[in-house]
Copies of this chain bind each other. A is one copy, B any other.
């Protein structure tokens, strides 16, 4: 099953040096989940060859403009391009008011329904599940309420050892029960133990998205053991004071988070416009956590 994320924007605050405000596209089994939507996200989707029409789920972490100013344009374009299938939107409660006001004054009656789920920002919760993935919020610590998102693959059914099943002439109609970890009693009296005829499916992977936040151990338990942890790293550690003041994280701190929660890989992003190049940020994070990569525009990471 495909489980990968493509970075559409890596800038914080304002676009600069060809870096766009934050947005990421998660492909989970060919369903598409957009995470945040800074200005120009629809242009970035086109640039990197994605069809916006394929996105069915959008998650907005918080109401700073660099994370949602592109949303109204994207939703309008979907409408103008003829979308009729529903879209599922998750974000701060006030987001709906902002969108509705603009739909009203632009005289837009959407052809497709938006199912909006307002997010609570005090306690983490499961906000979505389907056959592929479970999505939980992560309670971050920013200047305004902000939630990260944890995407965990659904545990797949056990895999059949078909050769053995056929050799022992286990009737095919019992296969679904075995895949679901059930032992079966055959009419001929034989007891079939699922453990003998199936193997475990792959361990579900988890992608954790943390933006924007200051370093705060209270959310660590929610991102424990992430296979891929995206964590903002707005500043170098020499700017720690500014990071604390603006409720952001330094590259060194992002590495520390990855270490403490036992992440397997760290992606850093949300870079301050003060950095023309990003080498120093990567270097600083790698010092603390070697398996770090820059989450920059157009890169795709398998989770």
Contacts and interface: CB of A to CB of B under 8 A. Distances in A.
User: Which interface class (under 10, 10 to 19, 20 to 34, 35 or more) fits A?
Assistant: 20 to 34
A177 B77 CA distance: 58
Contacts of A57: none
B105 A98 contact: yes
A65 interface: yes
Q: How many copies does the complex hold?
A: 2
A204 to B, nearest CB: 35
A180 interface: no
Contacts of A16: 46
Contacts of A81: 14
A63 to B, nearest CB: 5
A182 interface: no
Given A63-B106, A106-B63, A144-B107, A80 B39 contact: no
- Nearest 8 CB-CB pairs, A to B? A39-B73, A14-B77, A69-B73, A94-B105, A40-B40, A65-B76, A63-B105, A13-B80
Interface of A: 13-16, 20-21, 39-40, 42-43, 46, 63-65, 69-70, 72-73, 76-77, 80-81, 92, 94, 97-98, 101-102, 105-108, 143-144
